[in-house]
Amino acid sequence: MSVIVSRAIPEIDGFKPAHRKLLYTMYEMGLLKGKRVKSADVVGQTMKLNPHGDAAIYETLIRLTRGNESLLHPFIDSKGNFGKQSSRDMAYAASRYTEVKLDTFCEELFKDIDKDTIDFIDNYTGSMKEPILLPTTFPNILVTPNLGIAVGMASSICSFNLKEVCDATAAYLKDPGADIKKYIAGPDFASGGELIYNEAETESIYKTGRGSFKLRAKYRYDKKNSCIEVYEIPYTTTLEAVIDKIAQLVKTNKVREINDVRDETGLSGLKIAIDIKRNCDPGHLMNKLFKLTTLQDSFNCNFNILIDSKPMTLGIKDILFHWVNFRVKCLERKIAFDIEKKSEKLHLLNGLSKIILDIDRAIKIIRETEEDKNVIPNLIKYFEIDKTQADFIADIKLRNINKEYLMNKINETGELEAEVAHLKFILGNETELKNIISKELKEVSKKFGTQRKTEIIHGEKIEQLSEDDLIIDYPIKIFLTKHNYFKKIPNSSFRFANELNLKDDDYIITEASASNKSDILFFSTLQNVYKIKAYDIPGCKASSLGEYLINMLKLDDGEEILYVAATLGYSGYMVFGFENGKIAKIPLSSYATKINRRKLVNSYSAKSKCIFIDFVDEDKDYLIIRSNDRGLLISSALIPEKELKSSGGVQAFNLKKGSSVTKILRANEFVSDNIEYYRNTKIPSAGHFFTEKDKNSNNLL
């Protein structure tokens, strides 16, 4: 019973007793506003409330610090080495070396604690008082993760995003039947990673407080060094556990694509570097590792919480119900406290008002009273006031017996009466109390809310190990024609072909080398990008017309494909040229997705007609032609990179009224004896007039 109630299971304020005793001790030490102090000092002071060894208290403190990185919203601002939640072996420094103070976030834990909002009890020696709960202004029980193992029961509570929890609670206050899933997208952890969303499991967790969900690591691929960099891992594992398991898989030949794995965690954050073989597909290797290691792991939820010292397993709405009741009681006690204090002051001012018209008489009574003990009785007798009022009047300083001071005090009476009446109105009005809670929640959300760290991905859209692992890779050539025919020709077949067979009046507008495992990206006139694996497109011979893209991609009416690109690692850039003289350079990585999305919308700007698209892996020169009279030669290096796919780009060609960019060519496509004549090293530029010879050579008439 003691372990369940006094140690292992959190209460409605979101804390276990050990957490609460530690934070309250720091609050009493003045560490909410003061400077940092040695952790050893805090540990020693906490032992007045927590009858355990210093090691256990220090370990509790470590988990609450910013340095440990285990909480979305740390309660303790720390300096020094506190280890990392993501590391099993990283040792924390001794308490005599580290320094701590309360984070400003703790203002919301202790707000109005001195206004009788909660009950206090004696500590284990009876020498001081400690709070049984903290009057948190937000549902901390859902924001701070908690894991506890008691006797015959356990508790496992995941953390949720503070902004989402505040929004959900505010919605619940307005309508207890509100759909919580609209506001809380899913759990959120300080370690980041990806949450694989499963609607049925999420529904179970939200309703019953029981269930599980899957977390997976985030990674990026460094193609230049053939290295996978894992930079976020599930909250439930450690980087040492991941590395040990990968090393074991390599030793047992269960994974053959890895050359080396090492921990490169540093000041920039967590990083597990996995060197892979040159011909290895990083995406498929990671899928294997997700299945075989804790790079993908499960979090089992058991929302077991103490409510009035009784353990209960509750869903999110039930937790909000009990927290709202708790918070309403805190507010009622605070308001009652304020009413009492204001009423006491009002009582004193009412006594003062009785003598204000005859202040000289009061002074005379005091002066003519021979013994000090008779001053109060004489004032009571003459002015018909009580002892408290008489004490207040008798204690007024001589310098304050002036008209301004006395009238100001009397004028406070009306304000206090109005304040007391308003407080009494709120105290008896549940709607007003809930409005105050909602207002506090909005303030907390605005002041301390952050964006989600754990990205949510839908389970059904995750690429699973499939026949892709068995696909044979080989080099191919791809071709796109003006009439929207697409050809995928294996290199082995293409070598023996004399020429490509095309329809009458059709011609090649894009050709590229690729592999059978490449992603093929089709850019359309409606700013869409269609993504298809190369191995999903039938191969053909040079003599074949190929695949008709309108049918293969199911294009919309009037939609055509302008350009096709092939990639394996999504390195390089896409260059878009527009009629208004602007050019955009977008990283190809912006089109990469963790899931196999077939269609990406808003994939380039629609502000002006796109007249040119090109893939750039190394900087190229382009000749921009304005109304067939001027030309501008620039390098793609001059074009700044834009992360937003739909960016309108930068102005490259200054256009006069009524003119437009009519054509953009790769430098090698323009016939000229001196193409450098048109070069400019800065943009925007007005370009140079074409020479008559260049006009004739390039049909610019």
Q: Are residues 511 and 602 in the same domain?
A: yes
Active-site residues: which are they? 97
Instruction: Please identify which residue in the block is written with the tokens 């095309």.
Output: 502
Summarised one tens digit per residue, pLDDT across range 673-700 is: 899 999 998 999 988 999 889 988 888 8
246 has a pLDDT exceeding 90: yes
* pLDDT > 80? residue 467: no
Q: Return the structure tokens found at 90.
A: 């990283």
How many percent of the chain have pLDDT more than 70?
A: 96
What's 362-384 look like in SS3?
A: HHHHHHHCCCHHHHHHHHHHHHC
Claim to verify: residue 406 and residue 523 sit in the same structural domain = no
Indicate whether 440 and 566 sit together in one domain: no
Cα(99)–Cα(97) distance, integer angstroms: 7
Residue bearing tokens 């009397």:
410
pLDDT tier, 701 (very low <50, low <70, confident <90, very high otherwise): low
Residue 579: CA count within 13 A, CB half-sphere = 10
Give the strands of the sheet with 258-263, arranged side by side. 218-222, 227-232, 272-276, 258-263
Q: Which of 171, 164, 166, 162 is nearest to 143 (CA)?
A: 162
Out of 82-96, 271-285, 326-340, which region has the weakest mean confidence (pLDDT)? 271-285
Same domain as 617, residue 519: yes
Same domain, 273 and 397: no
The three-class DSSP label of residue 431 is helix
Six token digits for residue 267? 């000041």
Question: Residue 186 falls within a domain, yes or no?
Answer: no
Q: What is the pLDDT of residue 334?
A: 94
For residues 348 and 405, which has the higher predicted lDDT (pLDDT)?
348
Give the contacts of 386 (CB within 8 A, at least 6 positions apart). 351, 380
Q: Tell me: do 673 and 551 sit in the same domain.
A: yes
Q: What is the tens place of the pLDDT at every residue in 202-234?
A: 999 999 999 999 999 999 998 888 899 999 999
Residue at token pair 């207002």: 439
**pLDDT tops 80 at residue 358:** no
In a domain, 299, yes or no: no
Q: Tell whether 426 and 468 lie within a shared domain.
A: no
Do 468 and 440 belong together in one domain?
no
Q: Spell out the SS3 assignment of 495-521.
A: CCCCCCCCCCCCCEEEEEEEECCCEEE
Q: What CATH number is associated with residue 347?
A: 1.10.268.10
Asked if the structure places residue 58 within a domain, the reply is: yes
Pick the last residue of a domain from 250, 277, 294: 294
Is 45 contained in some domain? Answer: yes
User: Taking all residues of the chain, what is their mean pLDDT, rounded to a whole number?
Assistant: 89
Q: With H, G, I as helix, E, B as strand and everything else as coil, classify residue 122.
A: strand
Residue type, 470: L
404, 424, 448 - which closes a domain: 448
Q: What is the pLDDT of residues 613-647, one digit of tens each?
A: 999 988 999 999 998 888 999 999 999 999 899 99
| Region 371-386 average pLDDT | 79
* pLDDT for residue 167: 95
* Contact predicate 588/572, CB 8 Å: yes
- Residue 145 domain-assigned? no
Per-residue pLDDT tens digits for 527-539 = 999 999 898 888 8
**Cα–Cα distance between 586 and 604 in angstroms, integer?**
9
pLDDT band at 3 (very low <50, low <70, confident <90, very high): confident
pLDDT tens track for 538-568: 888 888 888 999 999 999 998 999 999 999 8
Kindly write down the DSSP assignment for every residue of 152-178, as one continuous string: S-EEEE--B-HHHHHHHHHHHHH-TT-
d(C-alpha 213, C-alpha 323), whole Å:
25
Whether 479 and 574 map to the same domain: the answer is: yes
Q: What is the CATH number of the domain that holds 499?
A: 2.120.10.90
The answer to whether residue 179 sits within a structural domain is no
For the chain, what is the domain count? 4
Residue 67 sits in which domain range? 2-136
Q: Look at residues 136, 162, 188 and tell me which one is the last residue of a structural domain.
A: 136
Parallel, antiparallel, or unpaired for β 455-458 and 304-307? unpaired
CATH number at residue 20: 3.90.199.10
Q: Is residue 358 part of a domain?
A: yes
Greatest C-alpha distance within the chain: 130
Has this prediction a pTM greater than 0.85? no
Percent residues over pLDDT 90 in the chain: 61
pLDDT in tens, 442-454: 999 999 999 999 9
377 and 443 together in one domain: yes
Count other Cβ atoms within 10 Å, centred on residue 63. Answer: 19
- Do 270 and 376 lie in one domain? The reply is no
Q: Which amino acid is at 165?
A: V
In a domain, 309, yes or no: no
Find the CATH number of the domain harbouring 244.
3.30.1360.40
**Does the pLDDT value for residue 83 go beyond 60?**
yes
What's the confidence (pLDDT) of residue 607? 92
Q: Which H/E stretch holds residue 320?
A: helix 316-355
Rounded (5°) CA angle 362-366-369: 135
Residues 6 or more apart in contact with residue 482 via CB below 8 angstroms:
506, 507, 508, 509
Whether residue 540 sits in one domain with residue 637: yes
DSSP string of 236-303?
T--HHHHHHHHHHHHHTTS--SEEEEEE--BTTB--EEEEE-TT--HHHHHHHHHHHSTTEEEEEEE-
User: 489, 546 in Cβ contact below 8 A?
Assistant: no
Find the Cα–Cα–Cα–Cα dihedral 247, 253, 254, 255, rounded to 10°: 70
Residue 317 has pLDDT above 70, yes or no: yes
